[in-house]
Chains A and B, each alone.
Chain A
Amino acid sequence: MSTIAPQFRFSRFVGSLFDIIFWILLLFSLIGLPIVFIILFYIKMPLVNHQLLTPYLAMTWMADPSRTLPIIKTLLHTTFFHVVAFPGFGFAALLAAATIFIERKFLAKIQLRVGPLYCGKVEGILQLMGDGLKLISKEIIIPAKADKPIFWVGPLLFLGTAAAFVSLIPVAPGWVVANPSVGLLAVFATIGFFPIITVLTAWAANNKWTFIGGLRALHQMIAFEIPLILSLLSIVILTGTLNLSQIVESQQHYWWIIFAPISAIVFFICIIAELERVPFDLPEAESEIVAGWLTEFSGMMYGLIQLGTYLKLYAFAGLFTVLFLGGWNGPSVWPPLSPDLITNGITIGPITAKIAGLPLFDQEMLNGTLWFVIKTVGVILVILLPRGVFPRIRIDMLLHTGWYKLIGLAFINIFIALGLLYAGVLGPGGLIQ
């Protein structure tokens, strides 16, 4: 039982919710509705389509799907919805939250533990909400000698940059927030902001541990950004485009991981290093430098950085899926709605309902999202796996890996890609289309 509310019982909680709903309904129907009708009696109602717009009519329209569905459909295709909900922030944050839960349970299984168990009754499914509430309710402590404006803005910048990165990932055909023709360059530009933010916040906190952690993060990110960019050059050579949606479309018959496996491996290692995950978690190595560049963050500032980190994890996994695993391409799972249903409507017994804007989401979008989510979650699981298996590596080994081995491998892969292109196997006009 929780120590905060020792008398808490779930059944009583649900009962009290029903109580509240009952009283709201009772008071609304006894007091609210008469007041509404008295007001409407004195107000002149407008005429819509030669009909007087009474409250009854308005409610009828709201319940009429043929009138509401087109409105919802228009809403789904606005930029606002794209940014806030589906391919943008909301979807990514939901996947990030699922990732945190999966990571905890997955790691617990490796380590012969059970993981979060109590919060939310079923396998600790609400643990993340509890942690979030705790972080929000905690005091934010700013060090006295910190550079306050930069220190304040650091977590927001980090989250904003991560969200900008998320916006570039195409989830389904046509479902992407930003689709510039130089999508891959935009990705590199966004990734390039992370070291700057890290060093700024680390310096602004005015602490020795954040300083060392920030320098480590800077070294690590620069050492791994160059092989990351070089490893993706082979994909650009093979497809001849920088647009991420076109790269996905080029993988309808085969995935690029088949022709560029070295590139995929190099890119995957660079992802882990960029995300500062085990075994490359040197900037946050707690036994050496407390918490690295995050040492001075408390409360929700730390929470924002964690959210940004997991958004970044989702975005990198999505990028791997888009570039190497064929993105939204996959066998059709979701059957298309029959055209008969759309033109003639549904017949249930004596009633025939014809709904105008019925296919809210087309079949391509549902299939694409399904395959994208499955592949991305798979990539995320493989990114999480090293945390249970590897110890942390040392800074000299890390730089050696980045500057010697990975850059060499990336160059080898560029030559392989050029060979495939000039031998006429792949690329425009190649043997395999």
Chain B
Amino acid sequence: MKDIGFVTSGDGAQLQCFQDYKAWLDEEIYLRFLDRVDLTAFKAIVVPDFSNQDLLRRHARQLNDYLAQGGFLIVFEPNRMDEWLDVVSVQWFSRETEDWKWWMRPGGRMEAYQPEPLHPMAKAIPLADMCWHFFGAFRFPEAATPILNLDNDEGCLMFDLPVDGGGRLIASTIDPHTHHGRRFMPATTRFLNGFYPWLKAEVQTRG
């Protein structure tokens, strides 16, 4: 069984990310022809931010089945997963980053925190490497562990949710691939530098 499949819409930033992190990735999966791929051959499937939403909707059944059959699906926004995931209910809502230039202010910070610092992803990736901006937020799913929340628990920017049948969903509204792949915003690179080694180790540990 392969460890991690990386779904690409063919966008330059996504293609760049696969090149940069292929030491941790087993295969680049072309979203347009997803139906030609057996997703169950992968322990984890990553759907990066800014994927083609029409194609995600077209292949929604396959992605849902993967999750329902015990797959580990990681999805970043803005992909409107609330519109095509039905195995679990994800409630996304619109929410602008308060000030996208917070990093230019003395003592500036993005309005988010890590509510569960012992979650392995929070241990692998510090808060500073999860903060640049975000595309909306989720209402908090009951059975999930939050990884990144808006201040005052106004919403969740990243959570880890076990799914009936042994599946697992990590969902996030941050967009590291599009910025790292476009060579803009060092925090996004630091995020991915922590994320892919963590994910590789996680799927190998869990078997």
Q: Do A and B come from one complex?
A: no
- Interface residues of chain A, those whose CB is within 8 Å of chain B, are none
